[in-house]
Structure 1
Amino acid sequence: MTARADGQARGAALFDLDGTLVDTNYLHTLAWWQAMRQHGHDVPMARIHRAIGMGSDRLLDAVLGAERRPGEDGALADAHGTLYALWYETLRPFDGAAELLRAVAARGWKVVLASSAAEEEVAAIRRRLDADDVIAAATSGGDVDTTKPAPDLVEAALRSVDTDPEDAVFVGDTVWDVEAAGRAGVPCIALLTGGISRGELEDAGAVLVHEDAQSLLRHLDASPLSRPPS
C-alpha cells in the first residue's frame, strides 16, 4: 500500500448494497420471478436467487439460458424494476449496517457504495440507510457497461475516489461480488446475508467471511478494514 504525496489516507472501503447492507436479495428474486412469469417464463426461484448480484443482462442469460429472447430483455428489466419499486419505502437495512459504515469512516477509510443498480434504486437504499454523512461516493448501473462478475463496477468505484486497487477493500455477499473484486485486484470480505454459503464464498476467493454487518462491525479491528493505508 502506498501513501499520497499530500499525506492524506487513500484507502477506500467499497460496499455492495443488495444483500450486504440491505435485506433485498430475496425481494429481487421475487420481483424477477414475477417479471418472468408475466412474460411466459416459469423459472424456479432458487435458480433466480443463484444469479442475484449479476447485472440484468447476465442474470437473464444465466437464468433463462436457451429460453432467453434478447428482444424482451428491456421489457423484463422494466417489469422487474416496477415490481421491485413497490418495496422502496419498506426496505430494511441489516442491523449494524449504518453503524458499520460510520465505524469504517471513523477509521479513515473513504466509504463508497458500489452498486450497478438503477440510480433510483440506489437512492431508495441510501434513504433507508441514512448514512450519507459518511458516504464519499456511490456508483449505479449508469457507470458501467459490463456488470459483475466483470471487474468494471469495482474499477468505477475506485475511480470515483481516486484510489488504487491495493489500497481498497470490497465488502459483498455473493460469489459475483468476490469474483468481480478479485478481477479488479481488490480483496473481498463476504457476508452471509445474501444467502450464499460460507464455502462457496471462500472458494470464490473471499479473504474473510462474516455472518452479517453486525458481526463484521464487532470484529472490525481483526479485519482488513482495521485501518486504511496512510
Structure 2
Amino acid sequence: MTHAPRPDRGAPAPLPLPVSKLILFDLDGVLVDTLPVMRSAWQAVCAQHGIDIPFRSYAKHLGRPFSDIMATLGVRQIEEVASTYDAVSTRDAHLARPFPGIEAALHTITAGGQRIGVVTSKPLARAVPLLERLRCPFSVVRAPGRERGKPAPDTLLAALVETGTDPADATYVGDMAVDQEAARRGGLRYVHAGWGYGEPTAPEPLTAHEPAQLFGLLRDSLAPEEAA
C-alpha cells in the first residue's frame, strides 16, 4: 500500500473543499455587495421613523431576517419600518454590485459539474433581480417563508428538499456567524467567504479569501478520474 507524500511541516497543507453535489450561497456579502443599498435604506428608516440606531448596530445582525433584527434592536413598528426599508432598497438597488470575480467563479463551478443555489434572508422580490445580474443557472433560490430564518437551518433544509440533496452532499458558503451556525445545525459543510461582511466563529472554518479560490478548492478535492 502506497502513501501520499507527507506535507512540509514548515507550512500547513491547504485544506480542500470536500466534493459537494450542491453548493449553496448566501447573497448579501457573498455574491453581491449590497452594503451601500442597506446603508441608504437604514438611513431612510431612521429619518422617517425617528429611530436613533446607527447603521453599524444594524449591520452586526446581517444574515438574519429583517423582522428578527428589528426585534433584537427593540424596534416596535416593524411593519412600517419594513415597508420603508423595502421601498428604499428597491429604489436604490442599482447601488449593489456583484463582487469582482464571483460570476466567473460560479460559472466555473457549474462547468465542473456542481449545482449551485442561493439561500438568503432577503425577500425573494428583492433577491431575484440581483441574482439575474449574475446570469448563472441557479438550481434553487430560497428565502424564509413559513420557515424560520437563520441561524435556524430551515431555509437551507428546504433548499435541500427542493433539489433532492442530502445534507452530507451540500456545502453552504456564507460570510456571517449566523450562516456558519445554520450550516452546522443543518448538517451541511460550511465555507466562509473572506471577502464578505462578517467574521467566522469557532471552530475556524475553511475560508476562501477571494471568489476565484472556490473553484481551486473544489478542483483539488476531485478524485483523479473526476478531474480528468
TM (norm. structure 2) is 0.81
Structure 2 residue 110 is matched with structure 1 residue 110: no
Say whether the 8 Å CA contact 1:15–1:171 is kept in structure 2. yes
Give the deviation of 1:15 after TM superposition: 0.9
CA distance in 1, matches of 2:50, 2:59: 19
Q: 1:105 to 1:119 in 2, by over 3 A?
A: same
Say whether the 8 Å CA contact 2:21–2:170 is kept in structure 1. yes
Say whether the 8 Å CA contact 1:12–1:168 is kept in structure 2. yes
Structure 2 residue 62 is matched with structure 1 residue 59: no
Matching of residues 1-230 of structure 1 within 5 Å: 11-62=21-72, 64-65=73-74, 68-69=75-76, 72-131=77-136, 134-142=137-145, 144-197=146-199, 201-203=200-202, 205=203, 207-222=205-220
Say whether the 8 Å CA contact 1:190–1:210 is kept in structure 2. yes
SS of aligned partner of 2:50:
coil
Give the deviation of 1:34 after TM superposition: 2.5
Structure 2 unmatched runs, 5+? 1-18
Q: 1:163 to 1:28 in 2, by over 3 A?
A: same
CA distance in 1, matches of 2:166, 2:204: 19
SS of aligned partner of 1:189:
strand
* Paired residue type of 1:79: T
Say whether the 8 Å CA contact 1:25–1:194 is kept in structure 2. no
- Deviation by residue 1:105-141 (Cα, 9 ceiling, x = unmatched): 122222111123212212211222121xx22121133
Q: 1:202 to 1:208 in 2, by over 3 A?
A: farther
Deviates more, 1:148-157 or 1:122-131: 122-131
SS of aligned partner of 2:98:
coil
CA distance in 2, matches of 1:212, 1:50: 22
- Bigger helix share: 1
SS of aligned partner of 1:59:
helix
SS of aligned partner of 2:156:
helix
Q: 1:162 to 1:87 in 2, by over 3 A?
A: same
CA distance in 1, matches of 2:25, 2:150: 14
Q: 1:180 to 1:25 in 2, by over 3 A?
A: farther
SS of aligned partner of 1:171:
strand
Say whether the 8 Å CA contact 1:149–1:176 is kept in structure 2. yes
Matched residues, number? 206
SS of aligned partner of 2:27:
coil
Give the deviation of 1:206 after TM superposition: 5.4
CA distance in 2, matches of 1:206, 1:181: 14
Aligned-residue sequence identity (percent) comes to: 29
CA distance in 2, matches of 1:83, 1:18: 16
Give the deviation of 1:219 after TM superposition: 4.2
Structure 1 unmatched runs, 5+? 1-8
SS of aligned partner of 1:194:
coil
Say whether the 8 Å CA contact 2:49–2:81 is kept in structure 1. yes
SS of aligned partner of 2:41:
helix
CA distance in 2, matches of 1:159, 1:10: 15
Across the aligned residues of Structure 1 and Structure 2, the Cα RMSD in angstroms comes to 2.3
